[in-house]
Amino acid sequence: MSKAKITKDEFTRFERLFFKVWHVYEFVQDKYYSFSDTEIEHLNNTLEQFKKEHPREHDIIIRHYLKRVYYTTIAREQGVSEGYIRKLCKNGAYYFLRLYDEK
């Protein structure tokens, strides 16, 4: 299995961004985490484009980070190893950040 394309610092940045997205998704905007209208629009456009270009990685990231489904469950459903799902998630994070930083 080849190595993931993302560095540790980039992946940490991705996880922090998705934690903020999850917090707003679960609890609505509050004094701790909020997005401006332009940030929400940019994030939605990026997620739509990401889903078109990398649907499998998109589904794994959304299910794991927003819906809190374990990697093991996703791997079992798809009949692959958990390590492979983790690698797909990390590569998906790389592709997402590349799209997110473009604009």
Is there a domain that residue 6 lies in? Answer: no
Is there a domain that residue 22 lies in? Answer: no
Is there a domain that residue 28 lies in? Answer: no
Residue 4 has pLDDT above 80, yes or no: no
Position 1 scores a pLDDT of 57
Q: What is the pLDDT of residues 5-15, one digit of tens each?
A: 899 999 999 99
Is there a domain that residue 7 lies in? Answer: no
Is there a domain that residue 83 lies in? Answer: yes
Position 33 scores a pLDDT of 85
Is there a domain that residue 88 lies in? Answer: yes
- Positive or negative: CA dihedral 25, 59, 49, 15: positive
For tokens 């990401």, name the residue.
Answer: 50
For tokens 């798809």, name the residue.
Answer: 78
Is there a domain that residue 25 lies in? Answer: no
Q: What is the pLDDT of residues 22-80, one digit of tens each?
A: 988 888 887 778 888 899 999 999 999 999 999 999 999 999 999 999 999 999 999 99
Domain count of the chain?
1
Is there a domain that residue 99 lies in? Answer: yes
Q: How far is CA 103 from CA 62, 73, 93, in A?
A: 21, 34, 16
Position 31 scores a pLDDT of 77
Residue range(s) defining the domain that contains residue 71: 42-103
